[in-house]
Structure 1
Amino acid sequence: MKNKQQMSLVVLDMAGTTVADGGLVEQAFDAAATRLGEDPATMIDYVRATMGESKISVFRHLFGGDEQRAQRANLAFEEAYGELVADGRIAPVPGAAEAIAQLKDQGRTVVLTTGFARVTQDAILDALGWADGLVDLTLCPADAGGRGRPYPDMVLAALLRTGAVDDVRQLVVAGDTSYDMLSGVRSGAGIVAGVLTGAHDEAALKEHGATRVLSSVAELPALIREYEGEYEEGEG
């Protein structure tokens, strides 16, 4: 018999999940590499494979642990991405803001997380008009010790900072990348939902732990209701 489970905390990724950036991550990476005299073609496969990871971690790997080069590259990337955002090249995933509003109406706490630095995250939130009141908390890797995904740190920081749940199984994690799925699994979340609006396909999301794969985050409120209903039926 299942126990009733109220999914009280929802942790959502930004780019590719709630924010449609139209490939801006790759464009910003290309621009940053070019500005630094690097060849982006030699690095792009790794960048694609590690979508969702903290960007400074990506650059540390690419430059073999050379911290100075990694920091320069990360700064150039954040600047290039910020320029694209300022140019109006970003929009919400259709239905994302409405889904967040539904989740909050259902009494859930909603947190947005990202692999970007805080300055870029804030630029995105400002550009979308999401800076005030849309969600309960926003987190970047630096807010949770600096490691970012695929570690569970941001998800667990959301739990600790909001105090919304007392059991990790009451967590919902949703994202568009393999690393989003890994961070959800490693946090112990009851629902780890992949969405198909971003970087990785259904096979990759399931391979890395997705318990469900959705066409869009717009489907998430209904999925959570369905999941909770299964527990209620089990009690009966």
Structure 2
Amino acid sequence: MPYVLDAVAQLRDLGVRIGSTTGYNDKMMDVVVPCAAEQGNSPDFWITPDAVGGKGRPWPFMVFRNMEALAVDDVLHVAKAGDTVSDIKEGVAAGVFSVGVVEGSSVMGLSEDEYAALDEDAREDACARAERVFREAGADAVIRNFEELPALMRQIG
């Protein structure tokens, strides 16, 4: 997704630790993690449903395991950002601040090229539809893309 690496760098500068949950299993992550690291994306902790007895999203347990691993003692100090309805439902179930990310999301359902090919009105309509879906799923906030995440985190403290 666009802007992720820059957003992560800014968040780290703010002292934020980065945890990750995924729908992938451990075997898939054995492939994904090294590739992501080569591109500069290495969370402080990641977890799959395999580590929580298969109870991944929308169950809250992977968020709680991230909190445990990162020594975060209060759900009020956690934000869950994601591009799927399952991400939002996971965050809501865990009681953490949940953020939907529109551009590149599975909710929007468009490739980067397809999104770029839309005229401005169609792009705005697609974003508005995705935002509605995230809000209906319980998102506390919805951002256009990860570029907006550090400012949102500064705003909510």
Name the structure 2 match of 1:103: 11
Q: Cα distance, 1:145 vs. partner? A: 2.6
Give distance in 1, aligned partners of 2:12 and 2:30.
21
Give distance in 1, aligned partners of 2:83 and 2:53.
23
Name the structure 2 match of 1:219: 148
Alignment of 1:162-177 (within 5 A): 162-163=70-71, 165-177=72-84
Alpha-carbon spacing, 1:168–1:130, altered in 2? closer, same or farther (3 Å): farther
Q: 1:183 aligns with which of 90, 113, 116?
A: 90
Give distance in 1, aligned partners of 2:39 and 2:54.
22
- Answer whether contact 2:88 2:137 (CA < 8 A) is retained: yes
Alpha-carbon spacing, 1:129–1:142, altered in 2? closer, same or farther (3 Å): same
Name the structure 2 match of 1:199: 106
Name the structure 2 match of 1:20: none
Give distance in 1, aligned partners of 2:63 and 2:135.
19
Name the structure 2 match of 1:232: none
Give distance in 2, aligned partners of 1:96 and 1:132.
10
The percent identity for this pair of structures is: 34
Whether 2:76 is the aligned partner of 1:147: answer: no
Q: Cα distance, 1:132 vs. partner? A: 7.9
**Unpaired runs of at least 5, structure 2:** 108-129
Q: Secondary structure at the match of 1:109?
A: coil
Number of matched pairs: 134
Alignment of 1:44-123 (within 5 A): 93-123=1-31
Q: Cα distance, 1:192 vs. partner? A: 0.6
Q: Cα distance, 1:157 vs. partner? A: 0.8
Q: Secondary structure at the match of 1:150?
A: coil
Task: Choose between structure 1 and 2 for higher RCO, CA contacts under 8 A separated by at least 6 residues.
Answer: 1
| One-letter amino acid matched to 1:170 | H
Name the structure 1 match of 2:110: none
Give distance in 2, aligned partners of 1:145 and 1:161.
17
- Structure with the greater alpha carbon radius of gyration: 1
Deviations 1:158-210 (Å, cap 9, x if unpaired)?
Answer: 011221x2211111001111111111011111x21001121112111110110
Q: Secondary structure at the match of 1:159?
A: helix
Give distance in 1, aligned partners of 2:48 and 2:17.
17
Q: Cα distance, 1:211 vs. partner? A: 0.8
| One-letter amino acid matched to 1:172 | A
RMSD (Å), alpha carbons: 1.8
**Unpaired runs of at least 5, structure 1:** 1-92, 229-236
Whether 2:143 is the aligned partner of 1:210: answer: no
Give distance in 2, aligned partners of 1:146 and 1:130.
28
Name the structure 2 match of 1:86: none
Which shifted more, 131-140 or 100-109? 131-140
- Answer whether contact 1:100 1:134 (CA < 8 A) is retained: no
